[in-house]
Structure 1
């Protein structure tokens, strides 16, 4: 239905800035070509620089797929694996970024260098200060409205107590109403208002096999289990791998609390590529942005995938920001589309009768 990697964004300024210290001669690539790149992003400069010993780690599936299509090795470093150079593009969320700095130091070989780049508008100075707290002296330069900073710490420079504390920041943690989440996920520390509105309008007669598209840490799916006793199985689809563990834990708790067994599957999957399974119902609070960019096409692609995966008499329950233009694609894919509620800037839509 959509081209592979349709929503995998191209290289950005931080990626371009990351390699400036090598161009200026301030840093040299390791002779053994072993490099770990955390939160790697595909781009022309990366293809030019990368060598066979480079390992790119990326938890967001569309970005990971794009790296693979660029011929780069994608995976996760073993717990005890060390590299003479660790590159990273830290995220905006500070706890998530601190955990990533700690992981970088954990995988750094003695005498190695950690190198990071962040946009100035997304906490670059704070990121540099955090790396300095962990590793001691840090050097930096500015390019492309980004800050590039690096450290080559001696063993005595590393604050190992702080490193352990920051590694723990990425562990699933309790947020509200007993749900577990982790920093950096969508609405990671709260119940999203749009999802809560959809939950208010979940039909109790949902039955059979249900899918949750863009499931995040599993709030919607857990509520389906709690409120819809005729649901026998639920599949959670989520492109961010870091959401999968808290989602599994939250669904296990939901089953314990309702006192019945529901077949639960949590899938690391790009919904825009379509679904292999057919469903009696689908629920979704689809994403409509990537970073700061609004992408209503992303929500429309979720709707197309849902329509293609529903059984002929299946139904889609969708929540979205009120202004998002989903009605046309819904009308083209379903015979009956109705808005159940519009409130607080959101709309809940039910669509039934998949068009052949």
Structure 2
């Protein structure tokens, strides 16, 4: 049974005549099964996603038509693009720049999203690619913009989208490289800094869950040369950022996509995380709660879980239900660092 479609997709259903017979490329903030429905109307469909959770959910229905990566490569072959507006404007700019070289001249460009999610800036995003954009629909607090690709498109160069900054965590300095929209893309956040300030020397194997730009795992790999680090995230842009951060600092670690523990099998001596609690425009806790509840199964005897979280999040009772010992090792007005032992 297909899942209910989002408000954005309900609006798109009213306008799906635009996509009939098109060689359509869809990407962005994908949330539901509607791209599969559109596939029955198009002559060819590719769904590109940077979200590993979405990729895993859609593989059975879409097969090779769904692609998970940080970049979609290939020769021009699409005559229509539908971008579901991501939360970060910078990510939308990145996706448009990456996909535009794959479009045929005069391809149709569609941007759709919730009004509270920045879609009202679509005309400015599209102005780089077409002379005029039109708001085709506005319904259920969502909007659909339409333009025609009429301006020259520059080749996409990934390195031009990497932001670089120097990170200092205690006595450890790190060069960070990050793609748009990735956590810790601009600077070391206060929560991760507090976490790193409260981690002792480590040995064995460590999992950095929700690695973002790779700051936590890279700092710990640099501090502990004998530590075997694995970094996981669901965001392909984060995974590529982590690879770049490791490489520029001369560090090595395993970097892979994983939907919580979906692609992990071995146990670890340490799990460390500044776990996410946002999904798109909404606050979302389920993935982090699953991560915490299942952590004991991925820790060796005497294993330790250390996380930092906003103080208002009620993670302590959850941790106490699944670990023999949990303590707050550091806190301030905003964050708490929890250490849990088996």
Q: Could you tell me the TM-score, scaled by structure 1's length? A: 0.83
More off after superposition, 37-46 vs 58-67: 37-46
1:172 to 143, 162, 165: 162
Structure-2 residue corresponding to 1:75: 67
- Structure 1: which 5+ residue stretches go unaligned? 1-8, 257-262
Change (3 A) 1:170 1:186: farther
- Supply the RMSD in Å over aligned alpha carbons: 2.4
1:274 Cα deviation after fit: 6.8
Quick check: 1:55–1:74 contact (8 Å CA) kept in 2? yes
1:242 to 218, 227, 237: 237
2:8 to 10, 14, 21: 14
More off after superposition, 188-197 vs 112-121: 112-121
Structure-2 residue corresponding to 1:35: 24
Change (3 A) 1:170 1:11: farther
Query: Within 2, Cα distance between the matches of 1:116 and 1:167?
Result: 23
Structure-2 residue corresponding to 1:228: 224
1:129 Cα deviation after fit: 2.1
1:343 Cα deviation after fit: 1.3
Structure-2 residue corresponding to 1:213: 209
Structure-2 residue corresponding to 1:3: none
Q: How many residues align?
A: 326
1:18 Cα deviation after fit: 3.1
Query: Within 2, Cα distance between the matches of 1:85 and 1:10?
Result: 25
Structure-2 residue corresponding to 1:158: 151
Query: Within 2, Cα distance between the matches of 1:212 and 1:123?
Result: 31
Query: Within 2, Cα distance between the matches of 1:28 and 1:200?
Result: 52
1:213-254 alpha-carbon deviations (Å, 9 max, x no partner): 1111110011111223442x1000111011112211222344
Query: Within 2, Cα distance between the matches of 1:272 and 1:279?
Result: 12
Query: Within 2, Cα distance between the matches of 1:274 and 1:328?
Result: 27
More off after superposition, 112-121 vs 195-204: 112-121
Change (3 A) 1:197 1:88: same
Structure-2 residue corresponding to 1:276: 265
Query: Within 2, Cα distance between the matches of 1:238 and 1:347?
Result: 22
SS of 1:95's equivalent in the other structure is helix
Structure-1 residue corresponding to 2:180: 183
Query: Within 1, Cα distance between the matches of 2:179 and 2:195?
Result: 22
- Structure 2: which 5+ residue stretches go unaligned? 168-174
1:44 Cα deviation after fit: 5.0
1:286-319 alpha-carbon deviations (Å, 9 max, x no partner): 1112123222332221112322110011111111
Q: Could you tell me the TM-score, scaled by structure 2's length? A: 0.86
SS of 1:271's equivalent in the other structure is coil
Query: Within 1, Cα distance between the matches of 2:249 and 2:302?
Result: 27
Structure-2 residue corresponding to 1:296: 285
Query: Within 1, Cα distance between the matches of 2:247 and 2:165?
Result: 16
Change (3 A) 1:167 1:266: same
SS of 1:37's equivalent in the other structure is strand
Change (3 A) 1:169 1:38: farther
SS of 1:54's equivalent in the other structure is strand
Quick check: 2:94–2:180 contact (8 Å CA) kept in 1? no
